[in-house]
Amino acid sequence: MAERMGFFTDTSVCIGCKACEVACKEWNDVPDDGFVFRATSYDNTGSLGASTWRHVAFIEEPGRPPAGREQDGDGTSEGIEGWLMSSDVCKHCTHAACLDVCPTGALFRTEFGTVVVQADVCNGCGYCVPACPYGVIDRRERDGRAFKCTMCYDRQLGGLEPACAKACPTDSIQFGPLDELHARAEERVERLRSEGRPEARLYGASPDDGVGGAGAFFLLLADPEVYGLPPDPVVTTRDLPAMWQWAGGAALSLVGVVAVSFLRRR
C-alpha cells in the first residue's frame, strides 16, 4: 500500500474565495447545487452533499453594533467583528462507518488510504448516509446514488495533487503524506499561539478520537461546533462486533433450546 495521503486545511488563512469549490466541480464534473438563494450570510452552497464535495463556510463572529445602533434587548449585537472561514470536506476516516455498512462494495479504501465511492457499483440503498458521523455523504435526487469527495483519486494515480488544493491561492488546503502534514500542522498551531491566538487547535488529527483519526484534518480558531463539526465524532458502527456476538449467542441459545426440546420428546 502506498503512503497514506491526506488534507490539512488551515482555516486561519482561508479567505472564502471558494476557488476550491469551483475547481472540485470542474475536475470531477459535479453538478450545480440548484442555485438556491439561502439568505444565510454570503454562503450560497449551504453544506456538503452529493453535489458539493468541498464547502466553504462563512461564519460570522458577533462584535460591536454598527455606529448609531444599540444592542438588542438580550445584549447581543447585530454587528460583525470578523469572519471564520473554513473549507469543509469528507474526512476519509481511519475507521470509516460508511465502508462497514455498504452492502455492494461501492465504497472502498484506496492504496492512498482514502475512501472512495464507485458510482457504477452503488445501488442507492443509502445505508452510508446515516452511518457517516459528519453528515458528509448524500444521495442525488436524480438517480439516488451516493456521492462524496474522492480526494481526486484519479489525479493521485497520475501523481497530481487534488484540484481543490491546486486551486487554493493561500495554501489553506494542503495535500501530502499525512505524517508530514501532522508535523506541519503542529508547528503552525504553536506559531499561532505564540502570536496571541491561544484558541488555535487541530481537529481530526488525533488517532485516539472516535474515528481513529481523519485523513482530512483542520486547524480551527474556535470550538468545532462553531464550524458545524461534531466535537466528539464516533464511528457509528463501533457496536457492531458486540451486536454480532450477542446475535450469535442468541442463535446458539435458540439451537440449544430446540435440541433439548427435541431430545425430551424422544
Q: Is there a binding annotation on residue 169?
A: no
Backbone angles phi, psi at 58, to 5 degrees: -110, 110
Q: Is there a binding annotation on residue 122?
A: yes
- 80-89 vs 54-62, strand pairing mode: antiparallel
Q: Is there a binding annotation on residue 261?
A: no
Distance CA 15, CA 172 (A): 9
Q: Is there a binding annotation on residue 168?
A: yes
- Residue 261 burial by Cβ neighbours in a 10 Å radius (0-12, 13-18, 19+): exposed
Q: Is there a binding annotation on residue 166?
A: no
Q: Is there a binding annotation on residue 132?
A: yes
Q: Is there a binding annotation on residue 4?
A: no
Q: Is there a binding annotation on residue 155?
A: no
Q: Is there a binding annotation on residue 174?
A: no
Per the CB < 8 A criterion, the answer to whether 183 and 192 are in contact is: no
Backbone angles phi, psi at 241, to 5 degrees: -55, -45
Distance CA 86, CA 220 (A): 8
Backbone angles phi, psi at 264, to 5 degrees: -65, -35
201, β-bridge pairs = 220
Q: Is there a binding annotation on residue 147?
A: no
Q: Is there a binding annotation on residue 152?
A: yes
Q: Is there a binding annotation on residue 156?
A: no
Give the residue numbers of the binding site for [4Fe-4S] cluster: 14, 17, 20, 24, 90, 93, 98, 102, 122, 125, 128, 132, 149, 152, 164, 168
Q: List the binding residues.
A: 14, 17, 20, 24, 90, 93, 98, 102, 122, 125, 128, 132, 149, 152, 164, 168
